[in-house]
């Protein structure tokens, strides 16, 4: 059977690659065409567009790049028509994917959404479009099932969180080996995860790196985003005490003592690696002003949202400055505070369910389209 997958960000590339592996296992003759990244490309299939050419952060950036987005949507529709897939699989990336789904549903193409749009965070009125345009919805957060089924009477499948699989199944590296290969000494490591988009990286790294001189007993390592080239990061590597790695974020988290992390999937990944973290977010001023007026959530990090309490500190916009970051990093380096935080992380992982999310989704998709 023929599968067309659309993933528009780094996290979607990760989950898309694991889903593709599971699809090939369920359907050895699968033909897969996709929008994604390097991880999906390594898995097989045909890459149509890389997510680095698709990601625009915030409301203002979307407006400035509106023509490019419209052209991408038009191109995507034509490519799907030429490919004639048996199923269209969407992974997160709702602004783009929901537009394609509306069109595809009218064309009679089965539409399956894996890692559903976060309409529980904002734009809840999108539930009408979700019900209208998607045949199947696979959710990965425990509270999402109640949101869709109890509040909106729309059946969904809770499959567990794919990050658990991605972390447990990765090829592990020894602490000493990682340090030797990346020219790191024996000091504890503070991981810096400033995001995957250029706009957020520029804003957040400036504040994160300002505190480096205050922590001489630690070494700081920037995790380069897979969608960005090394030349982009050179401007931030003026301090010899700061190291840089790329495409090794999980290896870095596996040996990190603490982390400064931008909001998003990385906050949950860091918690699942049992690394104490401070969540940082600083976006475009106009985008932030719009967002805070329409998003009613108490928290911005997945860790706190899932736990429904402030487990990790969130420094947002004006609060995200070097003074505050310094104080919160000092706090999570404290032994007693760390132990309390790690106990919360254990509860968090239990809430997310067990392993096998990608396999469950692949089985459900193949079984669904095999009936037609």
DSSP secondary structure of 22-45: HHHHH-TT-EEEEEE-HHHHHHSS
Q: Is the pTM of this model over 0.75?
A: yes
Strand partners, 5: 34, 89
> Domains in the chain, please, with CATH?
2-160+356-370 (3.40.50.2000), 168-351 (3.40.50.2000)
Q: What is the DSSP letter of 223?
A: E
What pairing do the DSSP bridges indicate for beta strands 258-262 and 189-193?
parallel
Pick from 290, 312, 289: nearest CA to 300: 312
Centroid of chain to Cα 358: 15
Phi, psi of 74 (to 5 degrees): -60, -45
Residue 16 CA to residue 239 CA, distance in Å, equals 36
Helix H, strand E, coil C: the string for 142-182 is HHHHHHHHHHCCCCCEECCCHHHHHHHCCCCCCHHHHHHHC
pLDDT at residue number 168: 86
Q: Are 353 and 160 in contact (CB under 8 A)?
A: yes
Torsion of CA 199, 203, 208, 210, to 10 degrees: 140
* 125 vs 332: CA distance, rounded Å: 39
Residue 353, C-beta contacts closer than 8 angstroms, at least 6 positions apart: 142, 158, 159, 160, 161, 164
Show pLDDT as tens, one digit a residue, over the chain (372 residues). Answer: 999 999 988 889 989 999 999 999 999 999 999 999 999 999 999 999 999 877 555 545 555 566 777 889 999 999 999 999 999 999 999 989 999 999 999 999 999 999 988 898 778 999 999 999 999 999 999 999 999 999 999 999 999 999 998 898 888 999 999 999 999 999 999 999 998 888 889 889 999 999 999 999 999 999 998 778 889 998 988 888 899 999 899 999 999 999 999 978 899 999 999 999 999 988 665 455 445 544 567 888 999 999 999 999 999 988 999 999 999 999 999 999 999 999 999 999 999 988 899 999 999 999 998 765
Residue 38 tokens, joined: 């390097």
């Amino acid at each position: 059977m023929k599968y067309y997958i659309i993933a528009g960000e780094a996290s979607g590339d990760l989950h898309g690659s694991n889903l593709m592996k599971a699809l090939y296992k369920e359907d050895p003759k699968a033909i897969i065409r996709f929008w994604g990244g390097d991880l999906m490309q390594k898995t097989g299939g045909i890459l149509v567009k890389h997510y680095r050419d698709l990601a625009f952060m915030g409301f203002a950036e979307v407006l400035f790049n509106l023509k490019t987005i419209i052209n991408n949507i038009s191109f995507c529709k034509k490519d799907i028509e030429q490919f004639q897939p048996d199923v269209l699989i969407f992974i997160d990336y709702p602004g783009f994917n929901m537009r394609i789904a509306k069109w595809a549903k009218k064309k009679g193409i089965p539409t399956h959404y894996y890692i559903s749009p976060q309409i529980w965070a904002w734009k809840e009125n999108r539930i009408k479009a979700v019900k209208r345009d998607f045949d199947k919805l696979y959710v990965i957060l425990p509270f999402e099932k109640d949101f869709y089924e109890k509040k909106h009477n729309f059946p969904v499948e809770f499959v567990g969180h794919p990050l658990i699989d991605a972390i447990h199944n990765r090829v592990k590296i020894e602490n000493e080996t990682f340090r030797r290969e990346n020219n790191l000494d024996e000091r504890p490591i503070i991981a810096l995860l400033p995001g995957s988009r250029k706009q957020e990286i520029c804003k957040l790294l400036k504040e994160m790196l300002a505190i480096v001189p205050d922590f001489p007993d630690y070494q700081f390592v920037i995790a380069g985003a897979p969608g960005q080239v090394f030349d982009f990061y050179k401007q931030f590597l003026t301090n010899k005490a700061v190291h840089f790695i790329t495409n090794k974020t999980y290896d870095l988290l596996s040996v990190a003592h603490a982390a400064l992390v931008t909001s998003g999937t990385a906050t949950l990944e860091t918690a699942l690696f049992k690394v104490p973290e401070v969540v940082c977010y600083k976006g475009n001023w106009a985008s932030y002003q719009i967002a805070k007026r329409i998003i009613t959530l108490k928290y911005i990090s997945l860790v706190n949202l899932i736990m429904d309490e402030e487990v990790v500190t969130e420094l947002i916009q004006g609060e995200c400055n070097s003074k505050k970051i310094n104080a919160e990093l000092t706090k999570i380096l404290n032994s007693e505070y760390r132990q309390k935080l790690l106990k919360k992380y254990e509860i968090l992982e239990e809430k997310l369910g067990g392993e096998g999310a990608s396999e469950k989704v692949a089985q459900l998709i193949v079984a669904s389209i095999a009936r037609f």
